Structure 1
Amino acid sequence: MSATDGASPAGTRVSNLNPANGLTVLRIVLVPVFLVALFADGGHSAAWRWTAFAIFAVAMITDRIDGQIARRYGLVTEFGKLMDPIADKALTGAAFVGLSVLGDLPWWVTIVILGRELGITLMRFWVINEGVIPASRGGKLKTLLQTLALGLYIMPLPDAFHWPKVIVMGAALVVTVLTGLDYVRSLRRAPA
Structure 2
Amino acid sequence: MTRDERRVVSPWNIANVLTVLRLVLVPFFVFCLFLPGTGWRVAALGVFAVASITDHLDGELARRYGLITDFGKIADPIADKALTGAALVSLSVLGQLPWWVTIVILGRELGITVLRLALLRHAVIPASYGGKVKTALQITAIVLYLLPFVPDPVRWLVMGVTVVVTVGTGADYLLRAVKLRQVARQARGE
Band the TM-score falls in, shorter-chain normalisation: over 0.9
Root mean square deviation, CA, Å: 1.4
Partner of 1:165: 155
Correspondence for 2:165 among 156, 175, 184: 175
The 5 Å alignment of 1:137-176 reads 137-158=129-150, 161-176=151-166
Deviation at 1:128, TM superposition (A): 1.7
Paired positions, count? 182
Deviation at 1:130, TM superposition (A): 2.4
| Distance across 2 between alignment mates of 1:61 and 1:176 | 20
Secondary structure at the aligned position of 2:121 is classed as helix
Partner of 1:90: 82
- Superposed CA deviations along residues 13-67 of structure 1, whole A, max 9, x for unmatched, are 10000000000000000000000000013xxx11111000010010000010011
Deviation at 1:11, TM superposition (A): 1.1
Deviation at 1:131, TM superposition (A): 2.8
Correspondence for 1:136 among 125, 128, 149: 128
The 5 Å alignment of 1:37-186 reads 37-41=32-36, 45-158=37-150, 161-186=151-176
Give me the identity figure in percent: 57
| Distance across 1 between alignment mates of 2:99 and 2:92 | 5
Q: Which runs of 5+ in 2 are unaligned?
A: 185-190
TM-score, normalised with respect to structure 2: 0.93
